[in-house]
Amino acid sequence: MVVGSNGMLGTDLCSALDSLGIPWIGVDLPEVNITDCVSILTAVERVKPDLIINTAALTDVDGCENHQRMAYRVNAQGASNVAEAARSCEAFLIHLSTDYVFDGTKTTPYLENDPVNPLGIYGRTKAEGEELVMSVIPDASLIVRTQWLYGIHGKNFVEAILKACQERDVLRVVSDQHGRPTFTKDLVEALVKLVELRPKGICHVANSGQTTWHGFASAIVKMAGLSHIRVEEMTTVELNRPAPRPLNSVLDVGRFESLTGRSLRNWQEGLKAYLKDTKRFKG
């Protein structure tokens, strides 16, 4: 069962399961609401899945600051409701989480067992969701943290930059936040592998390499053939968004590589694939 099957990640995940011949069922709003324990429990008990992947979340980082109660209901209590439903039919649960559970003060990539210290409501509610999942089904769950996710079936940073390029010739993009841009199709490949292995605990999954939002934006502009666009640097303080952001949230993906014997492709190759899929790649 894919929870959040109509979302950016869920849509790509369901397509991949189809192509692999893996039987699945997707649930999403409005038919199934993870904030309603009866709603998700009823859906799970009707299907009795062997494995559940929960991709549902409230991911608007600034929106979470302004709608704290809803963020808690979806990201924390919703995660717990899915875990309770999984326990009811003895299903294994893979729950998606985020780099925003960290405060970004570490100078090296974050390991799975590094202490969490979220800065804002989004990170706080996702961290609480992790704790609730692991407390409900510690022996039948895997938390997969990823970061800087973009995909064809949802709002994302790549599309925001390309749209901005249509409106102005000079972009100002944050250059002091560091992470790993991750293409949904690459994350899906990793999830399928983890479905086979079913490791417990926490696993970080992201494309290889790292950059800043400015570096990411510069690569987007270059690959899309928009040489007339100038991408200038700015700081997080200058950006002045409602929610605080971790400055270095690069995830260490060593455990995933050890478990699977492989690594995801470099983030630049992932970006190239995305632009080719959307017919915007110009070399």
pLDDT digits (tens, 9 = 90+) for 68-86: 999 999 999 999 999 999 9
Cis peptide leading into residue 30 (ω within 30°):
yes
What is the pLDDT at residue 62? 96
Residue 248 phi, psi dihedral angles, 5° rounding: -130, 100
Please, are residues 42 and 91 in contact by the beta-carbon 8 Å criterion?
Answer: no
Which one of the listed residues 100, 110, 122, 150 is annotated catalytic? 122
CB crowding 112-130: b at 16 or more within 10 Å, else e = beeebebbbbbbbbbbbbb
Q: Where are the beta strands (DSSP E) in 46-190?
A: 51-54, 92-98, 141-146, 149-150, 170-174, 178-179, 182-183
Cα within 13 Å of Cα(164), Cβ side: 17
Look up 72 and say whether it is catalytic.
no
Rg (CA), the chain: 18
Task: Calculate the CA 169 to chain-centre distance.
Answer: 30
Length of the chain: 283
User: For residue 110, which of 120, 122, 123 has the smallest C-alpha distance?
Assistant: 123
CA distance 194 to 189: 9
Tokens representing 8 are 């950016």
Determine if residue 230 is left, alpha or beta; phi over 0 gives left, psi from -120 to 50 gives alpha, anything else beta: beta
C-alpha distances out from residue 203 to 49, 124, 190, 243, 257, Å:
22, 19, 11, 25, 10
pTM > 0.85: yes
Q: Tens digit of pLDDT for each residue in 271-282?
A: 999 999 999 999
So what's the pLDDT on residue 283?
A: 78
**Tens digit of pLDDT per residue, the chain (283 long)?**
999 999 999 999 999 999 999 999 999 999 999 999 999 999 999 999 999 999 999 999 999 999 999 999 999 999 999 999 999 999 999 999 999 999 999 999 999 999 999 999 999 999 999 999 999 999 999 999 999 999 999 999 999 999 999 999 999 999 999 999 999 999 999 999 999 999 999 999 999 999 999 999 999 999 999 999 999 999 999 999 999 999 999 999 999 999 999 999 999 999 999 999 999 999 7
B/e letters for 40-71, b = 16+ CB within 10 Å, e = fewer, are bbebbeeeebebbbbbbbbbebeebbeeeeeb
Cα(105)–Cα(107) distance, integer angstroms = 6
* Per-state percent for the chain, helix, strand, coil, to nearest 5: 45, 15, 40
